[in-house]
Protein backbone atom coordinates (compact mmCIF):
# COMPACT_ATOMS: atom_id res chain seq x y z
CA UNK A 1 0.00 0.00 0.00
CA UNK A 2 1.67 3.21 -1.14
CA UNK A 3 0.56 6.77 -1.60
CA UNK A 4 3.00 9.35 -2.92
CA UNK A 5 0.81 12.14 -1.51
CA UNK A 6 1.19 10.86 2.04
CA UNK A 7 3.81 12.48 4.27
CA UNK A 8 7.03 10.51 4.53
CA UNK A 9 7.46 8.72 7.84
CA UNK A 10 10.77 7.09 8.74
CA UNK A 11 10.36 4.14 11.09
CA UNK A 12 13.61 2.98 12.69
CA UNK A 13 13.69 -0.42 14.38
CA UNK A 14 16.56 -1.23 16.69
CA UNK A 15 18.04 -4.66 15.91
CA UNK A 16 20.32 -6.64 18.22
CA UNK A 17 21.39 -10.28 18.66
CA UNK A 18 18.78 -12.38 20.44
CA UNK A 19 15.84 -10.27 19.29
CA UNK A 20 12.41 -11.88 19.27
CA UNK A 21 11.69 -11.81 15.56
CA UNK A 22 7.93 -11.26 15.90
CA UNK A 23 8.53 -8.23 18.15
CA UNK A 24 10.11 -6.71 15.04
CA UNK A 25 8.35 -8.33 12.10
CA UNK A 26 4.76 -8.00 13.35
CA UNK A 27 4.74 -4.20 13.72
CA UNK A 28 7.02 -3.88 10.69
CA UNK A 29 4.49 -5.71 8.53
CA UNK A 30 1.70 -3.32 9.49
CA UNK A 31 3.77 -0.14 9.49
CA UNK A 32 5.30 -0.97 6.10
CA UNK A 33 1.81 -0.67 4.61
CA UNK A 34 1.20 2.78 6.03
CA UNK A 35 1.21 5.35 3.21
CA UNK A 36 4.54 7.18 3.11
CA UNK A 37 6.32 4.77 5.48
CA UNK A 38 10.01 4.03 5.09
CA UNK A 39 11.31 1.23 7.30
CA UNK A 40 14.88 1.03 8.60
CA UNK A 41 16.50 -1.79 10.57
CA UNK A 42 19.49 -0.37 12.44
CA UNK A 43 22.14 -2.39 14.28
CA UNK A 44 25.68 -1.88 15.53
CA UNK A 45 26.88 -3.17 12.15
CA UNK A 46 25.31 -4.63 9.03
CA UNK A 47 26.13 -8.25 9.78
CA UNK A 48 23.15 -10.64 9.95
CA UNK A 49 21.33 -10.47 13.29
CA UNK A 50 20.53 -13.81 14.92
CA UNK A 51 16.92 -13.97 16.11
CA UNK A 52 15.29 -16.29 18.63
CA UNK A 53 13.65 -18.26 15.81
CA UNK A 54 16.70 -19.92 14.29
CA UNK A 55 17.17 -17.56 11.37
CA UNK A 56 18.87 -14.21 10.90
CA UNK A 57 17.69 -10.83 9.63
CA UNK A 58 19.78 -8.33 7.74
CA UNK A 59 19.94 -4.71 8.95
CA UNK A 60 19.52 -1.97 6.36
CA UNK A 61 21.79 0.43 8.27
CA UNK A 62 24.35 0.55 11.01
CA UNK A 63 23.99 3.02 13.87
CA UNK A 64 26.24 5.59 12.20
CA UNK A 65 24.34 5.65 8.90
CA UNK A 66 20.76 5.30 10.17
CA UNK A 67 18.51 8.25 9.38
CA UNK A 68 16.65 10.15 12.07
CA UNK A 69 13.49 8.32 13.06
CA UNK A 70 10.04 9.81 13.05
CA UNK A 71 9.01 6.63 14.85
CA UNK A 72 11.61 4.79 16.92
CA UNK A 73 10.67 1.22 17.79
CA UNK A 74 12.68 -0.96 20.17
CA UNK A 75 11.71 -4.64 20.11
CA UNK A 76 12.47 -7.10 22.89
CA UNK A 77 13.82 -10.60 23.30
CA UNK A 78 16.18 -12.50 25.56
CA UNK A 79 19.02 -10.54 23.95
CA UNK A 80 17.87 -7.44 25.82
CA UNK A 81 19.87 -8.46 28.89
CA UNK A 82 23.10 -8.26 26.84
CA UNK A 83 22.05 -5.10 25.02
CA UNK A 84 21.45 -3.32 28.34
CA UNK A 85 25.19 -3.33 28.89
CA UNK A 86 26.10 -2.10 25.41
CA UNK A 87 26.82 1.63 25.61
CA UNK A 88 26.71 2.06 21.83
CA UNK A 89 23.19 0.62 21.68
CA UNK A 90 21.88 2.73 24.55
CA UNK A 91 23.45 5.87 23.11
CA UNK A 92 21.82 5.17 19.74
CA UNK A 93 18.40 4.86 21.40
CA UNK A 94 18.88 8.11 23.32
CA UNK A 95 20.03 10.04 20.24
CA UNK A 96 17.23 8.76 18.05
CA UNK A 97 14.60 9.34 20.73
CA UNK A 98 15.66 12.98 21.09
CA UNK A 99 14.51 13.72 17.54
CA UNK A 100 11.65 11.23 17.14
CA UNK A 101 7.97 12.11 16.99
CA UNK A 102 7.09 8.78 18.62
CA UNK A 103 9.22 6.57 20.88
CA UNK A 104 7.91 3.03 21.15
CA UNK A 105 8.74 -0.45 22.36
CA UNK A 106 7.47 -4.00 22.11
CA UNK A 107 7.79 -6.50 24.94
CA UNK A 108 11.05 -6.22 26.92
CA UNK A 109 12.31 -3.52 24.58
CA UNK A 110 10.82 -1.23 27.22
CA UNK A 111 13.86 -1.88 29.42
CA UNK A 112 16.19 -0.58 26.72
CA UNK A 113 14.13 2.61 26.60
CA UNK A 114 14.39 2.68 30.37
CA UNK A 115 18.16 2.26 30.37
CA UNK A 116 18.32 5.24 27.99
CA UNK A 117 16.42 7.29 30.60
CA UNK A 118 13.20 7.52 28.61
CA UNK A 119 10.74 5.92 31.05
CA UNK A 120 11.34 7.99 34.18
CA UNK A 121 7.99 9.12 35.52
CA UNK A 122 6.17 7.45 32.63
CA UNK A 123 3.39 4.89 32.58
CA UNK A 124 4.51 1.80 30.68
CA UNK A 125 3.94 -1.87 30.02
CA UNK A 126 5.98 -4.86 28.89
CA UNK A 127 5.68 -8.65 28.75
CA UNK A 128 3.59 -9.87 31.69
CA UNK A 129 6.51 -11.83 33.17
CA UNK A 130 8.62 -8.68 33.55
CA UNK A 131 6.19 -5.90 34.50
CA UNK A 132 7.31 -6.02 38.14
CA UNK A 133 10.74 -4.82 37.01
CA UNK A 134 9.56 -1.60 35.35
CA UNK A 135 10.06 0.49 38.53
CA UNK A 136 13.78 -0.28 38.24
CA UNK A 137 13.86 2.07 35.23
CA UNK A 138 11.59 4.66 36.84
CA UNK A 139 8.36 3.61 35.13
CA UNK A 140 4.92 3.09 36.61
CA UNK A 141 3.68 -0.35 35.49
CA UNK A 142 0.25 -0.52 33.84
CA UNK A 143 -1.52 -3.80 33.18
CA UNK A 144 -2.51 -3.19 29.58
CA UNK A 145 -1.64 -4.42 26.12
CA UNK A 146 -0.84 -0.91 24.85
CA UNK A 147 0.08 2.07 27.04
CA UNK A 148 0.38 5.61 25.69
CA UNK A 149 2.01 8.36 27.73
CA UNK A 150 2.50 11.43 25.60
CA UNK A 151 4.63 10.49 22.61
CA UNK A 152 5.77 7.29 24.35
CA UNK A 153 3.98 4.05 23.42
CA UNK A 154 4.89 0.74 25.06
CA UNK A 155 3.27 -2.59 24.35
CA UNK A 156 3.12 -5.98 26.00
CA UNK A 157 4.64 -9.23 24.86
CA UNK A 158 5.36 -10.28 21.27
CA UNK A 159 1.98 -10.32 19.48
CA UNK A 160 0.94 -7.01 21.04
CA UNK A 161 3.37 -5.35 18.63
CA UNK A 162 0.77 -5.71 15.90
CA UNK A 163 -1.88 -4.02 18.04
CA UNK A 164 0.60 -1.25 18.85
CA UNK A 165 1.35 -0.68 15.16
CA UNK A 166 -2.31 -0.41 14.18
CA UNK A 167 -2.97 1.93 17.12
CA UNK A 168 -0.12 4.18 16.02
CA UNK A 169 -1.22 4.15 12.38
CA UNK A 170 -4.65 5.32 13.52
CA UNK A 171 -3.06 8.16 15.50
CA UNK A 172 -1.02 9.25 12.48
CA UNK A 173 -3.35 8.72 9.54
CA UNK A 174 -6.79 7.96 10.94
CA UNK A 175 -8.79 4.89 11.82
CA UNK A 176 -9.87 4.21 8.23
CA UNK A 177 -6.25 3.74 7.13
CA UNK A 178 -5.51 1.52 10.13
CA UNK A 179 -8.62 -0.55 9.53
CA UNK A 180 -7.75 -0.98 5.85
CA UNK A 181 -4.31 -2.27 6.80
CA UNK A 182 -5.82 -4.59 9.40
CA UNK A 183 -8.11 -5.96 6.70
CA UNK A 184 -5.27 -6.26 4.17
CA UNK A 185 -3.23 -8.45 6.51
CA UNK A 186 -6.41 -10.28 7.65
CA UNK A 187 -5.74 -9.61 11.29
CA UNK A 188 -8.90 -11.15 12.67
CA UNK A 189 -7.77 -12.95 15.82
CA UNK A 190 -9.60 -16.11 16.76
CA UNK A 191 -7.14 -17.96 19.01
CA UNK A 192 -7.75 -21.66 19.57
CA UNK A 193 -7.61 -21.21 23.34
CA UNK A 194 -8.92 -18.63 25.78
CA UNK A 195 -5.60 -17.52 27.14
CA UNK A 196 -2.46 -15.66 26.21
CA UNK A 197 -2.32 -13.72 29.47
CA UNK A 198 -2.13 -14.97 33.06
CA UNK A 199 -5.54 -13.40 33.78
CA UNK A 200 -7.13 -15.78 31.25
CA UNK A 201 -4.89 -18.84 31.43
CA UNK A 202 -5.18 -21.73 33.92
CA UNK A 203 -2.88 -21.14 36.85
CA UNK A 204 -1.08 -24.46 36.44
CA UNK A 205 -0.02 -23.48 32.90
CA UNK A 206 1.12 -20.02 33.98
CA UNK A 207 3.12 -21.34 36.93
CA UNK A 208 4.64 -24.12 34.85
CA UNK A 209 5.80 -21.68 32.17
CA UNK A 210 7.21 -19.30 34.77
CA UNK A 211 9.14 -22.13 36.39
CA UNK A 212 10.53 -23.40 33.08
CA UNK A 213 11.36 -20.05 31.47
CA UNK A 214 10.40 -16.77 33.04
CA UNK A 215 11.52 -16.97 36.66
CA UNK A 216 15.13 -17.37 35.53
CA UNK A 217 14.73 -14.94 32.62
CA UNK A 218 13.28 -12.24 34.87
CA UNK A 219 16.10 -12.79 37.36
CA UNK A 220 18.65 -12.29 34.57
CA UNK A 221 16.86 -9.13 33.48
CA UNK A 222 16.82 -7.80 37.04
CA UNK A 223 20.54 -8.46 37.43
CA UNK A 224 21.26 -6.68 34.14
CA UNK A 225 19.15 -3.69 35.14
CA UNK A 226 20.92 -3.41 38.49
CA UNK A 227 24.41 -3.83 37.00
Name the β-bridge partners of 13.
Answer: 41, 73
* Whether 73 is catalytic: no
* Residue 62: Cβ-neighbour burial (10 angstroms; 0-12, 13-18, 19+): middle
Beta strands, E only, the chain = 9-14, 37-43, 49-50, 56-57, 61-62, 71-74, 102-106, 123-124, 140-141, 146-149, 152-155
Name the β-bridge partners of 74.
Answer: 105
Of the candidates 14, 78, 17, the residue with the CA atom closest to the CA atom of residue 220: 78
Residues 110/124, Cβ–Cβ less than 8 Å:
yes
CA dihedral 25, 26, 30, 31 (to 10 degrees): -50
Strands 123-124 and 102-106: unpaired
User: Which is catalytic among the residues 40, 69, 107, 116?
Assistant: 107
Catalytic residues: 107
Amino acid sequence: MTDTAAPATTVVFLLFPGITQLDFTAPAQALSRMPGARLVGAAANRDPIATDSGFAILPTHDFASAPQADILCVPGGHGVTEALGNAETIDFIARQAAGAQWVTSVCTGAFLLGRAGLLRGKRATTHWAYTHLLPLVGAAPVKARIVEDGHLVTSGGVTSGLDFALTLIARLQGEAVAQAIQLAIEYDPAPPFAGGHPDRTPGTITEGLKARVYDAAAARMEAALKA
